[in-house]
C-alpha cells in the first residue's frame, strides 16, 4: 500500500487497533506503523487473529501487543491507556456464525463494544472510530444504499452492528466522545482468512480453483455485492480518525466503491485470471442473505474526503496474486 491517506504528522500520535491481528485491523496497524505513528497498540484475543499478521507488525519499534479479550473491561481500560485514537475492528463476523452462535456474537460485538466505548471515555480518547456493516440495511430494498435509510435486521450479526451504532450515538451525546461509524461493504484482500466454515468468498474461490477442490456458490450466483478492496477500508479509517472537519464526527458512513458485481462474475474473473477451468457447485441460497447490495458513498466523499483508490478488478488481481503464493 503506497498511497498516503493523511496529511498530518503521526509521530506525536498514539493509536489503538482492536482486532489488529485480524484481516482489516492488521492492514490499518501496518499503515500507521509505516507512516511513523508514535505508538500503535493492538489488542486481540487471537480468536480470529493470526500470528503471521502480528509478525509483520513486530518489525516496527512503535508496535505494542496486548493479548486480551474486549469482553473484559479491565483489558479494554489497559489497552486504551495513553492512547489518542481508537479504531475498533474487533468483532465476530459472519452472518451464518451469528445464526449459529447468537449469544457469543452478542457478547463480543455488543458487550465488547460497550466496554471499548467506556474505556475510551475513561481514558479521554480523542476519537473512537468503529467498524459497522452493510448488514444493518437489512431488508431495505432501495439501491444504492443511503446511510439514513435502513430496514429490519435479518440476522443476529446485523442486530449487533445496529446496536453498536445506537450505543455510539448515545455515548457521543452523553459522554461527548467523538465517534465515527463505518459501514463496510464486503471488504476483501490479502490476509483474509480462506480457511474454516466462515471463510470469505473470494479467498475460497481462489483456493478452490487452484487446488481443484469443490467451490460452492449459494443460490444462482446472480446476487450482487459492492466488493471493496481492503486498502479503501484503511483509507477511510485513517481519514475518520484524523479529520478536522467537526461536521464529520458523530456520523455513520458507507465504505464501498459504489459499483456492484455478481458472485458469478467474480468467479469468472478469478477463473480467467488463473487460466483454469473449474465448474462451481450451486447450492441452496444462504439464510438471511440480501439479494443485491450497492452503496452510495457520497457522504464519506463529501465529509471525510474518502475516495476509493482501488477499484474491484485491480484489488481482485492483487488478492489473487497473494493467495496464489499460498496455494500454488
- What pLDDT, on the 0 to 100 scale, is given for residue 194? 81
User: In whole angstroms, how large is the CA radius of gyration of the chain?
Assistant: 19
Mean pLDDT across the stretch 281-289?
89
The residues spanned by each domain of the chain are: 14-188+228-258+294-309
Mean pLDDT across the stretch 11-28?
98
- Is 1.20.120.1200 the CATH number for 14-188+228-258+294-309? no
Return the ∠ at Cα 265 (arms to 261 and 266), rounded to 5°.
80
Grid cell locating 271: 477463473
Omega prior to 186 cis, within 30 of 0 = no
Share of residues in the chain with pLDDT > 90 (%): 92
Residues whose CB falls within 8 Å of the CB of residue 222, separated by 6 or more in sequence, listed in order: 262, 263, 264
Q: How many other CB atoms sit within 10 Å of the CB of residue 226?
A: 26
Grid cell locating 261: 458485481
Model pTM above 0.95: yes
SS3 170: helix
Residue 212 reports pLDDT greater than 70 = yes
- What pLDDT, on the 0 to 100 scale, is given for residue 328? 78
Q: What is the pLDDT of residues 291-313, one digit of tens each?
A: 999 999 999 999 999 999 999 99
Q: Is 157 a catalytic residue?
A: yes
Phi/psi of residue 308, nearest 5 degrees: -55, 120
Residue 2 reports pLDDT greater than 60 = no
Residues 80 and 94: their CA atoms lie apart, in Å, by 27
Grid cell locating 134: 452493510
Q: What is the pLDDT of residues 26-75, one digit of tens each?
A: 999 999 999 999 999 999 999 999 999 999 999 999 999 999 999 999 99
CA distances from 146 to 140, 233, 241 (A): 10, 18, 22
The catalytic residue among 31, 157, 184, 253 is 157
- What pLDDT, on the 0 to 100 scale, is given for residue 72? 98
* Lowest model confidence (mean pLDDT) among 22-26, 115-119, 239-243, 287-291: 287-291
Q: What is the pLDDT of residues 78-116, one digit of tens each?
A: 999 999 999 999 999 989 999 999 999 999 999 999 999
Residues 197 and 200: their CA atoms lie apart, in Å, by 9
What do you get for the CA distance between the two ends of the chain, in Å?
Answer: 24
- Closest listed residue to residue 143, CA positions, set 67, 272, 254, 46: 254
Strands 187-188 and 228-229 turn out to be: parallel
Residue 273 reports pLDDT greater than 80 = yes
If 0-12 CB within 10 Å is exposed, 13-18 middle and 19+ buried, where does residue 200 land? middle
Strands 261-262 and 224-225 turn out to be: antiparallel
SS3 49: coil
Residue 3 reports pLDDT greater than 90 = no
Q: What is the pLDDT of residues 157-205, one digit of tens each?
A: 999 999 999 999 999 999 999 999 999 999 999 999 888 777 789 999 9
Residues 228 and 12: their CA atoms lie apart, in Å, by 31
- What pLDDT, on the 0 to 100 scale, is given for residue 1? 45
- What pLDDT, on the 0 to 100 scale, is given for residue 4? 80
Mean pLDDT across the stretch 243-250?
97
Amino acid at each position: 500500500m503506497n498511497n498516503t491517506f493523511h496529511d498530518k504528522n503521526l509521530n506525536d500520535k498514539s493509536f489503538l487497533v482492536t482486532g489488529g491481528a485480524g484481516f482489516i485491523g492488521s492492514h490499518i496497524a501496518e499503515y500507521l506503523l509505516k507512516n511513523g505513528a508514535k505508538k500503535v497498540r493492538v489488542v486481540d484475543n487471537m480468536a480470529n487473529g493470526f500470528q503471521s499478521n502480528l509478525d509483520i507488525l513486530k518489525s516496527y519499534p512503535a508496535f505494542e501487543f496486548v493479548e486480551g479479550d474486549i469482553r473484559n473491561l479491565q483489558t479494554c481500560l489497559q489497552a486504551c491507556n495513553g492512547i489518542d485514537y481508537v479504531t475498533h475492528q474487533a468483532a465476530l463476523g459472519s452472518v451464518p456464525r451469528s445464526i449459529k452462535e447468537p449469544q457469543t456474537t452478542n457478547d463480543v460485538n455488543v458487550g465488547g463494544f460497550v466496554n471499548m466505548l467506556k474505556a475510551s471515555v475513561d481514558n479521554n480518547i480523542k476519537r473512537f472510530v468503529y467498524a459497522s456493516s452493510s448488514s444493518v440495511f437489512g431488508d431495505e430494498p432501495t439501491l444504492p444504499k443511503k446511510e439514513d435509510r435502513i430496514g429490519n435486521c435479518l440476522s443476529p450479526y446485523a442486530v449487533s452492528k445496529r446496536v453498536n451504532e445506537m450505543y455510539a450515538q448515545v455515548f457521543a451525546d452523553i459522554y461527548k466522545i467523538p465517534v465515527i461509524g463505518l459501514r463496510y461493504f464486503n471488504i476483501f484482500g490479502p490476509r483474509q482468512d480462506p480457511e474454516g466454515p466462515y471463510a470469505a468468498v473470494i479467498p475460497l474461490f481462489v483456493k478452490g480453483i487452484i487446488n481443484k477442490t469443490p467451490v460452492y456458490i449459494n443460490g444462482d450466483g446472480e446476487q450482487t455485492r459492492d466488493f471493496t478492496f481492503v486498502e479503501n477500508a484503511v483509507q477511510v479509517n485513517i481519514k475518520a480518525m484524523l479529520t478536522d472537519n467537526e461536521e464529520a464526527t458523530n456520523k455513520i458512513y458507507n465504505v464501498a466503491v459504489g459499483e456492484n458485481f455478481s458472485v458469478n462474475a467474480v468467479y469468472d474473473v478469478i477463473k480467467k485470471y488463473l487460466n483454469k477451468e473449474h465448474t462451481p457447485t450451486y447450492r441452496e441460497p444462504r439464510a438471511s442473505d440480501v439479494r443485491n447490495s450497492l452503496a452510495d458513498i457520497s457522504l464519506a466523499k463529501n465529509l471525510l474526503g474518502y475516495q476509493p483508490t482501488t477499484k474491484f478488478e485491480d484489488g481482485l488481481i492483487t488478492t489473487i496474486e497473494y493467495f496464489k503464493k499460498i496455494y500454488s
